[in-house]
Amino acid sequence: MSNLEKYRDRLLRCTRCGVCGAKYDYFAGIFRVCPIVDHSPGFEAYYPRGKISIATEILEGNLTYSEGLAKVLTACSTCMNCAQQCGSTDTKGDPLLNTARIIEAMRADIIDLGLAPEPYVAISSRTEKNYNPYAESHEKRTQWAEGLDAQFGKSNIIYFVGCTSSYRRKEIATDTVKILKKLNIPFSILKDEWCCGSPLWRTGARKLAEKMAKHNVEALKDAKTVITSCAGCARAFLKDYPEIVGDLPFEVLHMTEFLESLMDEGKLTLKEPIAKKVTYHDPCHIGRELLMYDPPRNVLNAIPGIEFVEMKSTRENAWCCGGGGGLKISNPNMAINVATDRLGHAKEVGAEAIISSCPFCKTNLLDAIKKTGSNLEMYDITELVATSIRA
């Protein structure tokens, strides 16, 4: 049975109005909706509405999956802005037509049918073999922590690092550890941490994602609180894992939430000034997916010397960075073009630096900065906190 079947009733309710692809509301900061539209061949199949039509026709038996269709389905960052702007909600207030989830269901179908594009096959095989999507040695996963006197094993608080911070954006992992140690917070790191499974879930490899989730929940079962500095990991734990294992036996906090709670309790004071005009880019994983809009802004505004400015499209209307949902591995040029759009939003408000709280966002925005020769700076929020904190 198609993974789409659970969405049949919702798909049939779509009026094909097209708001998911194009909407303009100056006062709400909505100037476009789908980041793919302007960087695609322009055919309806690349629009959210087109993908809704494709899904409906597949369910009705009027269309079958093919390698060509599978390639079209990779052109989406699953940013969920289309669902945000649709306006149709169910009785719980959740998006009635969540195109991102529908696209993920179709991607799961193409995996099951053996039609997955090569980048999807590669990310699955690498993760299955090495427990990370980068084909890096699992034994070297914690090399970044050498010299930091980090503790490994069981404790009440576990820092779940994530693959990208472990292998690519190591500065986020090291600064997170420095912050926790500076504040004398007892914590440990897992020696046998596996990929959270988010990249697999987004690209349709659900069975393998479930394997990752079950392993991690078992490894973390004795913890009271799990902290992660990765937006993708936070989203996986809080939204994907409950679908697989039910209620989690531990609390999960994104690092920005944890830092905000420490500030509220008077346990964290940021004193070292950072004289910089910055703007904040909302990661889709903790923004539209988890509604974490205030914690990062509250932390940034607590840093002395920071001049904080908002981009026009922000919070629930934020423009995607283009780095998630499997887009960067399957359509790298499109991903960079989407990130370049975001750089333009930051330049419009005169920011010197873009701050985010997701290693995927940092990677793709940095790549766009390098490609375009932009003078914008890019930081994860942990880097600024680590600089400003003073015991």
Tell me the pLDDT of the chain (391 aa) as tens digits. 789 999 888 888 888 888 777 776 766 667 788 999 889 888 889 999 999 999 999 999 999 999 999 999 999 999 999 998 887 767 676 777 889 999 999 999 999 999 999 999 999 999 999 999 999 999 999 999 999 999 998 899 999 999 999 999 999 999 999 999 999 999 999 999 999 999 999 999 999 999 999 999 999 999 999 999 999 999 999 999 999 999 999 999 999 999 999 999 999 999 999 999 999 999 999 999 999 999 999 999 999 999 999 999 999 999 999 999 999 999 999 999 999 999 999 999 999 999 999 999 999 999 999 999 999 999 999 999 999 997 5
- How far, in Å, CA of 335 to CA of 354, rounded? 17
Q: Which residue has the tokens 């503790």?
A: 151
* DSSP sequence for 54-108: HHHHHHTTS----HHHHHHHTS-----HHHHHH--B-TTSSBSS-HHHHHHHHHH
Q: What's the pLDDT at 26?
A: 67
Question: Which one-letter DSSP state was computed for residue 388?
Answer: H
**β-pair type (157-160, 225-228):** parallel
Q: What's the pLDDT at 391?
A: 52
CB 98 within 8 A of CB 52: no
Among 124, 122, 134, smallest CA distance to 162 is for 134
- How far, in Å, CA of 332 to CA of 132, rounded? 19
Structure pTM?
0.94
- How far, in Å, CA of 125 to CA of 131, rounded? 9
Q: What's the pLDDT at 42?
A: 81
H/E run at residue 354:
strand 353-356
CB 23 within 8 A of CB 85: yes
Question: Which one-letter DSSP state was computed for residue 302?
Answer: T
CB 355 within 8 A of CB 384: yes
- How far, in Å, CA of 284 to CA of 333, rounded? 20
